[in-house]
Every structure is written in structure tokens, then in C-alpha cells.
Structure 1
Amino acid sequence: MQFLPRVARHFLVLSLLLLGAGAALAQPTGKAAKGRKRYTFAQKDSESPYVQNVTKNTDEEQDVDGSFTRLGYRSATDMLTEITALKKLHDWADTTYQRRVAAIPPGGALVVIVHRQGPKGVEMSNLTLTATDKAGKEVFAQTLAPGTGRFFGRDLYQGKTIIPFPKMDPQELNISIRDAKLYQTFDYTLALPAAQQTAAE
């Protein structure tokens, strides 16, 4: 009578071991499995004054595993200033200037730049960007549109995407960019400035 329960126990243990082995095979390995190192204090981005890096993301790392991922932000005011300067430089007609100004996203734009190894490494649709507020509520999410990069140097290729951002009150947001191919997540903070009206509004 005790034979059947013992067989059932052995079958259950074997099933659990097989499930565990399958899960282990499905998990990423190496640096991707351990996750990216984080700064003790978020570091200001060298190019975008609104962005700070939470996870370590240096030029040296791109040489190791081709995982360089930079987030930038351009406010609507910054974009208007640039377009106004270009109007004077190129002597645009008023209609050209107004068309350019009308195309400025009210909330500015996020800029995502990646360096990846190999020509097939830069597929921007592998990336999903998520923004949450201080309370942890998701306020914006987008999987990037498909697109490939251009040769950057050695075996590295660069991809770049500009994402129109919705108009929001000034606040600090947490931004995560998940790379489905690398199994890595890159974290940032974004300090949204006060939105200012453009000439088109």
C-alpha cells in the first residue's frame, strides 16, 4: 500500500527538478543575469542636463559587451530655440518656420542612442521604454519603432530614435529602457522642466 505514495513522491520530485532545469536554461547568463551595476548616487549625463544615470553606463562598457544605452531629453523650449536659430541661418520663409514650430512635441522629446555589437545588434524594436512617477504609477510606455543602425566603429553600430513626449507638469520621473535581446534594463531619472508655450500655441 505504501508503494504507490512513494512512486508518486518520486514522480513529483523528478517533475520539480525538470521544471527547475528548464527555468535555469531559459534565464540569461553572465552580466545580463546579474544585472547592471548601479551608482551609489545618480550621475548627471554629460550631454543632457535633464537626465541622470542610475545604472552604470560608460563608454568602456560598450567595448566589452556592446551595451551602451544613452537617454537624452530635449524640451519644447530647447527645440524652439534651435529652430529659431536655423531660421536666421537659412533665411527660411515664415511658412517653413511655422511648419517646423508646429511639429514640436508639446512635451519635448526623448532621445535614445544605443551602441551594439554587429549590424544585427541594433534593432531598436528590441527596446521598451517605460516612465513612472515618484509614486510608481506608469505615465508613459512605448516599444521603439523598428529600425537599424549605422556603422559606428570597429564592430559597433549606433542606433538613434527620437520619441515625442506628452506634456506634463514639472516633476522627476524614473525611466527604464529594457533591451529584450540583451536581457538588460537601463535606468535613469528625468527632471521634466516647466513646459513653456511655443510660437505655435
Structure 2
Amino acid sequence: MKKFLSVPAAITMLAAGTLVSCSTESPESSQSPTASETPADSATYQEYVALGDSYSAMGSRTAETTGPAECFRSADNYPSLVAQHEGVKNFVDATCSSAVTADIFSTRAGSEGPIEAQLESLTKDTDLVTISIGGNDIGFPDIARCFQEARAAGEESDCASRFNRDEMTNSVNEMLFSVYNSVQQRSPEAHIMVTGYMPLITDEGQCEDAA
């Protein structure tokens, strides 16, 4: 049976570390597993494939990188940390910085040649998948830059009015459903763990974890 888990569940299950967030609430999903459906800590995965954008691909600034130059697949990104667990036997990192949902399905042009569609890394034997995608589809870099420029200028930002949250969410939801369905079709027995994006700014004020 296919199961969807949030990334905190994945990290806890594999004892690979902790992701921090400014939010005190846990993301909810209509497809979240019950306790009885959650894989045991001792689960063994024969083939783990990581998909996604820079939130999956990048790690520390000093770590070595692999893959196409523009992908910045860090040797200490979270998929690599998960893959170090003894319960993971084989690992494929298909993540790539600045990826959008189209790059999951289609070949992407790269400075060193074509970058294969991320879905091509999946097989029917893949039994663990993590994925973060969608941030670049809604222009996350532009949103972050808006807040950064306002802070540098010492002015109140107009970012909320410049970027309509509802419109952005609606536009990306359909694409995300298509991504998740395609992953399921290629790897029908895989546990699919969808990672989120750490909040950079909170309503309550500053957050040390996001500084």
C-alpha cells in the first residue's frame, strides 16, 4: 500500500536528524497515515530516490557537490543524510536546484548537457521517495527577494499585496497532484514523503532558526 508521510516522519523514522521550522503547527494532509500505517523504525528500503528542488538538493556551503553543475547536489543535503541510515540499501539523488514541476516530467537544459527528467530515476522497485517541489513555480526567489529588499531599506514591505497567496496556491496545486500521481504510477509500492518549505518569516516576530 502506498503511503504519504511528511518529512518530519521520514527523518524520525530513519533517525537521520531533525528539520527545524518557525511554525508550531504540523502540516496536515488528507492522506496522512494512521499510526498503524506508519513504517517501523526498523524498516529496510532497497531503493531510495530523492526528487525536488534546492530545498532537497542543497546542504552546507562547504560540502562537495555532485551531478550537473547547476543542480548543486550537496554531499550533506537531507537526502544524503537519510541515505546514510543502515535501513537504506541503495540511493539515487535526482534533486536539482531551481527545479520546477516541469523538470520532474521533462528533460532540462543544462550548461553541461541535458539534465534527465527526475521521474526517470524511479523504477517499479523504488520503495522510498522524498520530494520537495513547487516553490519555484510560484516564484519563491522573487518573494524572498521582496522581503530582503524591504528589510535592507528599513521599510515596511508591500510583499503581501504584490504576491497573491490564493492565486499562487491554486496555480500550483494541480501541478503537484500530477507530480504525486506520476510518482505513484512509476513506483506503486513506494512510501512517498513530501517535504515542506521552512517558514522564513513569522507573524509572531523573529525566529532564531530562520535567521
Provide TM-score, normalisation by structure 2: 0.27
Q: Which structure shows the higher helix fraction? A: 2
Structure exhibiting the larger radius of gyration computed from Cα positions: 1
Q: Which has the higher contact order (CA 8 A, sep 6+)?
A: 2
Q: Which structure shows the higher strand fraction? A: 1
Provide TM-score, normalisation by structure 1: 0.28
